[in-house]
Amino acid sequence: MTVPAASNAPVAPAVSTRGIRRTLRLALPGLAGAALLAAPFGLDAFAVATLTLGLCHGLFAYGLDLSWGRAGLLSVGHAAFFGLGAYAVALAQEHHLPWTATVAAAVAAAVLIAVPVVRIGLAAPVPDAPLILLTIGVGLLLQRAATTLAPVTGGTNGLSVSGPDVVTSYYVTLGAVAAVVGACGVLLVRGRFGARLVAASRNPERAAQSGIDTTRVRTAAFAVSAAVAALAGALYAPVAGLVSPQVFGLGLSTSVLIWLALGGRESTVGPFAGAVAVTVGQQYLGSTWQGWYLLALAALFLLVVQVAPAGLTAAPRRWLAGPGPDVRLPSASRRAPYRTASESAGDRLPLAVTGIRKSFGPVEVLAGVDLTVEAGRCVCLIGPNGAGKSTFLNVVAGQLAPDAGTLRLFGADAAGLPVHRRVGLGVGRMFQIPSVVAELSPADNLRLARIEAPEPAEPPAEFRDLAEDELRPAGALPLADRRRLELAVVLASGPRLLLLDEPAAGLGPDDARRLTRELREVNRRTGCALLVVEHDMDIVRELADEVVVLAEGRVLARGPLDTVAADPAVRTAYLGAR
Amino acid sequence: MDVLLAILGQFGLYGLLTVGIAVIFAATRVVNLAQGDLAMTGAYVAATATAAPFGLRTLLALAAGAPLLLVVERLLLRRPGSDGLAAMLVTWGLGMALRQGAELLFTGTSRTVAVPVEGTLDVLGTPYPTYRLVCALTATAVIALVLLAAHRTDWGLRLRAVADNPAMAALLGTDPRRMRATAFTLGGLLAVLAGALYSPVLAVNPSMGFGLLVPVFFGLLLSRPGALATAAGAALLISTLSVLLRTWLSDTLAEALFYAVVVAIAALRSRPWIGRFSAWFRRTPAPASAA
């Protein structure tokens, strides 16, 4: 076996800059924290009030980042959630209610609105358009409600809110912001959840195939994002002193997009830096220049989206993080994988299907397929184009739901299970076009797979070069290496049944042979059963214990390759001979 | 009868904007979030150039809009490698800039535009303002013209080809970049026209675009990409819904119910069985069936 040396990766940088980076990485958060704590002692009251407002805005932007940045779900009406929090505090003061109860109710309302909104969005093939629409709609609706319910909300004039003095309110805000960011950091961003979110937002297909419930992960991130926005609104109300229907408005939703886009997504510093900088500028410019300032911001936003989509703080952050791809798994999730006891697959039949049918409209693609794959066997699925091979594989993997028939995986009825649950049963899948998380390094891809694995396995020695490749994104790998990485990722979760759709497609003869050998080796060493769709008869000959011929949605023949190839019915199906 | 007339009037406005946004979406796969703000721009041209007669002002708005749209497309939307979401954000930024520019030039207060055609007309026994009828009919005629162009001319064929499969259309000799530029300009101009035509009926202010964007966006969501007739149909559905709800209920309730109904339709559409049904209806083979 030829293993390419790891030396084709970029050369590691000199030790000295690495030392500086490490020191700065440790020192900068401490310095920033100290500066924030000391700020009221060196600044006048107006500056402190501005900074407080900036922090509220920053928390709002941080909340938006959880959905737009980290979950990849753009919301252009996030002020709806912010406004809920702001009105909660204002109404508590106006009507003498306990503010803890109203704020809790606002957070609950934000979550209750956010969950159906994001569910509808995620049900669409591309979630952007429905999400944009629904978030705008929610914002407009709440604004309208706040305007018309004048006896309760004060109508267009809004409600005035009194807060503590400037310095106290600064420290209260700072403390609350630190607490929320800390909690989100530990629970959502840094740990296993953060790793899942990275995968689910970038490559939902592969994430599901690694056993991640992508819809749940992204829904949770969006819901927390809405809750954080509501908390930011609650902090904002006493600082601003007035809550009017404008807080639901698209003006504020637009502003928060600008803060986040300028500051930089997928970071903790970015949203706060963007929000504080813009807020300070806005407060210190007189009202005469306000309009021009906003116009300039719009222009800057256009420029940043075009030229530096990662935001203005991206370059220094990247430098601090050291060499490597832009996107990495959160560091805390890299520690020892989290193990859950899984029921052993034992010797149960990996796959048993009977009478599987699947139609697309009037076209019946699968017309009652019966097939079993025994443990440790390698079954190759062949057949002419349009025979239903890929459809069948999609039904087994869970991408498509069969119209009729039973499907049992390791003895469990799996016909209605989602993809990630089937992965938990021990199913691994490789796609026709290798599917890895292209933005993460190969090493991070493997780590992610091990974090999620029910029975994590160390990558075999022949994948060592990939497991140590930290420096470039997986998308930059050549096709053959991406294919090997996908295999390594799938194997890391210790599957008992591996589904492959034309694994050698697009590979040269040498790479195809090498991959075939690796697959055979995997099958021999781990006893993992293989179900392979393949056209190349050389590969089939080398791999298959058994060949199944599919034609016109039915199993035409099964047995050793030579027997099958001699079958006159198979020859007719392939060659059209009569 | 007056309800029907109101629906027709509303349809003229929403239809122009929705067909415009659908043309842009077909060719570029970008949801133009500045559509409402382009209408606002058109309305302001009609509201400020009062020296000229109204028809001339509308033409002026179109003449001013065309180069602006071409420049925007050339400068902002043509960067290679920019994905759909980035382009959508660009249009959002464009809308923001237009809004802010209008606020600087004309302040935030609403203006009214003098109605160019006075008087009322008797339509089957129902009196109705003449101008509303004129602009509803003009808008409907323009929509019909665009639909006709999309289905009866070479340009329309190419547009539909690009909407369906840009790579294939390019291989067959349609320059997708030019198609994108013309489609963006045309779609934007429809919005400008809608704004100018309807300026005497609407309150003209910098943030009027938002109110227009939402129903138009709904219309796009309910239509099928590349099929402009479905966009016009969706606009008709939306105008009917909003007019009916408004005649029966108070504004807030009507708006809330409007969102609820359209969201329900959108959510239902994404259910698998509806998808299967409509896939069968369209007789397009599902991609996964290619083994």
The residue ranges of every structural domain in chain A are: 46-248, 351-426+495-575
B85 close contact with A: CB closer than 8 A: yes
Residue-wise pLDDT for A529-542, tens only, equals 889 888 888 888 88
Instruction: Please give the residue that has the higher pLDDT: either A310 or B280.
Output: A310
Instruction: Please give the residue that has the higher pLDDT: either A561 or B282.
Output: A561
Alpha-carbon distance of A350 to A376, in angstroms, equals: 9
Classify the phi-psi angles of B111: left when phi > 0, otherwise alpha if psi is within -120 to 50, otherwise beta.
beta
Q: What average pLDDT is seen over chain A?
A: 82
Confidence at residue B151, expressed as pLDDT on a 0 to 100 scale: 81
Region A174-186 average pLDDT: 85
Measured between CA atoms, the residue of chain B closest to residue A400 is B288
Region B239-267 average pLDDT: 78
Confidence at residue A347, expressed as pLDDT on a 0 to 100 scale: 62
Q: Domain count of chain B?
A: 1
Alpha-carbon distance of A421 to B250, in angstroms, equals: 48
* A365 to B289: CB separation less than 8 angstroms, yes or no: yes
Residues of chain B in contact with residue A261, where contact means CB-CB under 8 angstroms, are: 89
Residue-wise pLDDT for B110-157, tens only, equals 777 777 777 777 777 777 777 788 888 888 888 888 888 888 888 888
Q: Which of A76, A131, A133 to mutate to test the interface with B (most CBs of B within 10 A)?
A: A133
On whether residue B136 sits in a domain, the answer given is: yes
Residue-wise pLDDT for A276-309, tens only, equals 888 888 888 867 777 788 888 888 888 888 777 7
* A128 to B213: CB separation less than 8 angstroms, yes or no: no
Instruction: Find residues 100-119 of chain B whose CB sits inside 8 Å of chain A.
Output: 100-101, 103-104
* A361 to B94: CB separation less than 8 angstroms, yes or no: no
Residues of chain B in contact with residue A533, where contact means CB-CB under 8 angstroms, are: 291
A120 → closest Cβ in B90, B96, B263: B263
Instruction: Find residues 162-191 of chain B whose CB sits inside 8 Å of chain A.
Output: none
Look up residue B192 and give its amino acid: V
Residue A207 is inside which H or E element, if any? helix A204-209
With contact defined as beta carbons under 8 Å apart, do A430 and A500 qualify? yes
* pLDDT-derived band at A227, boundaries 50, 70, 90: very high
Residues of chain A in contact with residue B37, where contact means CB-CB under 8 angstroms, are: none
Q: Which residues contact A437 (CB under 8 A, 6 or more apart)?
A: A198, A199, A202, A203, A206, A207, A444, A445, A448, A474
Residue-wise pLDDT for A459-503, tens only, equals 677 777 887 778 888 888 888 888 888 888 888 877 888 888 888
Global ipTM: 0.76
* B270 to A136: CB separation less than 8 angstroms, yes or no: no
For residue A1, count other CB atoms closer than 10 A to its CB: 8
Tokens 């105008």 belong to B239
Q: What is the CA radius of gyration of chain A?
A: 28
Instruction: Please give the residue that has the higher pLDDT: either A361 or A10.
Output: A361
Measured between CA atoms, the residue of chain A closest to residue B255 is A141
Residue B104 has pLDDT above 50, yes or no: yes
A137 → closest Cβ in B86, B214, B271: B214
Residues of chain B in contact with residue A301, where contact means CB-CB under 8 angstroms, are: 89, 93, 96
Helix ranges, A285-435 (H): 287-307, 314-321, 389-397, 419-425
Token code pair at residue A367: 């017309």
Residue B284 has pLDDT above 50, yes or no: no
Residues of chain B in contact with residue A394, where contact means CB-CB under 8 angstroms, are: 288
On whether residue B267 sits in a domain, the answer given is: no
* pLDDT-derived band at A344, boundaries 50, 70, 90: low
Residue-wise pLDDT for B206-238, tens only, equals 878 877 888 888 888 777 776 788 888 888 888
Residues of chain A in contact with residue B107, where contact means CB-CB under 8 angstroms, are: none
Residue-wise pLDDT for A46-103, tens only, equals 888 888 889 999 999 999 999 988 888 888 888 999 999 999 988 888 888 888 888 8
Measured between CA atoms, the residue of chain B closest to residue A386 is B291
SS (H, E, C) B97-156: HHHHHHHHHHCCCCECCCCCCCCEEEECCEEEEHHHHHHHHHHHHHHHHHHHHHHHCHHH
On whether residue B236 sits in a domain, the answer given is: yes
Measured between CA atoms, the residue of chain A closest to residue B265 is A120
Q: What percentage of chain A exceeds 90 in pLDDT? A: 7
* B100 to A74: CB separation less than 8 angstroms, yes or no: no
B252 close contact with A: CB closer than 8 A: yes
Confidence at residue B278, expressed as pLDDT on a 0 to 100 scale: 45
* pLDDT-derived band at A334, boundaries 50, 70, 90: low
Alpha-carbon distance of B11 to B140, in angstroms, equals: 8
Helix ranges, chain B (H): 2-28, 35-48, 54-76, 84-106, 130-152, 154-164, 166-171, 176-198, 208-222, 228-248, 251-269, 272-282
Confidence at residue A569, expressed as pLDDT on a 0 to 100 scale: 81
A301 → closest Cβ in B96, B207, B286: B96
Residue B288 has pLDDT above 70, yes or no: no
Tokens 């539909």 belong to B160
Measured between CA atoms, the residue of chain B closest to residue A432 is B291
Token code pair at residue A566: 């001699």
* pLDDT-derived band at A3, boundaries 50, 70, 90: very low
Residue A223 is inside which H or E element, if any? helix A214-240
* B286 to A388: CB separation less than 8 angstroms, yes or no: no
Confidence at residue A4, expressed as pLDDT on a 0 to 100 scale: 43
Q: Measure Cα distances from A473 to A325, A326, A356, A441, B228 in Å.
A: 5, 8, 40, 4, 41
Q: Which domain holds residue B191?
A: 2-248
Region A502-507 average pLDDT: 81
Residue A481 C-alpha, separation from nearest chain B C-alpha, in angstroms: 24
Residue-wise pLDDT for A236-290, tens only, equals 988 888 888 888 887 888 888 888 888 888 888 888 888 888 888 888 886 777 7
Residue from B215, B198, B207, B220 nearest B42 by CA: B198
Residue from A526, A470, A462 nearest A495 by CA: A526
Region A312-339 average pLDDT: 71
Q: Which of B35, B100, B278, B282 to mutate to test the interface with A (most CBs of A within 10 A)?
A: B100
Confidence at residue B266, expressed as pLDDT on a 0 to 100 scale: 67
* A385 to B291: CB separation less than 8 angstroms, yes or no: yes
Residue A11 has pLDDT above 50, yes or no: no
Residue B273 has pLDDT above 60, yes or no: no
Measured between CA atoms, the residue of chain B closest to residue A364 is B289
On whether residue B143 sits in a domain, the answer given is: yes
B276 close contact with A: CB closer than 8 A: yes
Q: What is the CATH number of the domain that holds B123?
A: 1.10.3470
* A132 to B217: CB separation less than 8 angstroms, yes or no: yes
Annotation: CATH topology of A351-426+495-575: Rossmann fold (3.40.50)
Residue B281 has pLDDT above 50, yes or no: no
A361 → closest Cβ in B103, B218, B283: B283
On whether residue B219 sits in a domain, the answer given is: yes
Residue A108 has pLDDT above 90, yes or no: yes
Residue A229 has pLDDT above 90, yes or no: yes
Measured between CA atoms, the residue of chain A closest to residue B263 is A134
Alpha-carbon distance of A354 to A352, in angstroms, equals: 7
Residues of chain B in contact with residue A392, where contact means CB-CB under 8 angstroms, are: 291
Confidence at residue A107, expressed as pLDDT on a 0 to 100 scale: 92
B270 → closest Cβ in A123, A299, A386: A123
* pLDDT-derived band at A576, boundaries 50, 70, 90: low
Confidence at residue A6, expressed as pLDDT on a 0 to 100 scale: 41
For residue A242, count other CB atoms closer than 10 A to its CB: 15
On whether residue B122 sits in a domain, the answer given is: yes
Residues of chain A in contact with residue B245, where contact means CB-CB under 8 angstroms, are: none
* B289 to A130: CB separation less than 8 angstroms, yes or no: no
Measured between CA atoms, the residue of chain A closest to residue B216 is A133
Alpha-carbon distance of A386 to B241, in angstroms, equals: 44
On whether residue B291 sits in a domain, the answer given is: no
Alpha-carbon distance of B76 to B72, in angstroms, equals: 6
Residue A222 has pLDDT above 90, yes or no: yes
Region A366-390 average pLDDT: 85
Largest CA distance in chain A: 94
Per-residue buried b or exposed e for B87-99, using 16+ beta carbons within 10 Å of the residue's own CB: bbbbbbbbbbbbb
Measured between CA atoms, the residue of chain B closest to residue A309 is B86
Residue A225 has pLDDT above 90, yes or no: yes
* pLDDT-derived band at A219, boundaries 50, 70, 90: very high
Residue A30 C-alpha, separation from nearest chain B C-alpha, in angstroms: 35
* pLDDT-derived band at A8, boundaries 50, 70, 90: very low
Confidence at residue B51, expressed as pLDDT on a 0 to 100 scale: 72
Residues of chain A in contact with residue B214, where contact means CB-CB under 8 angstroms, are: 133, 136-137, 140
Confidence at residue A64, expressed as pLDDT on a 0 to 100 scale: 92
Residue-wise pLDDT for A349-373, tens only, equals 888 888 888 888 788 888 888 888 8
Q: Which of B24, B96, B221, B258 to mutate to test the interface with A (most CBs of A within 10 A)?
A: B96
Question: Which DSSP category does B286 fall into?
Answer: P
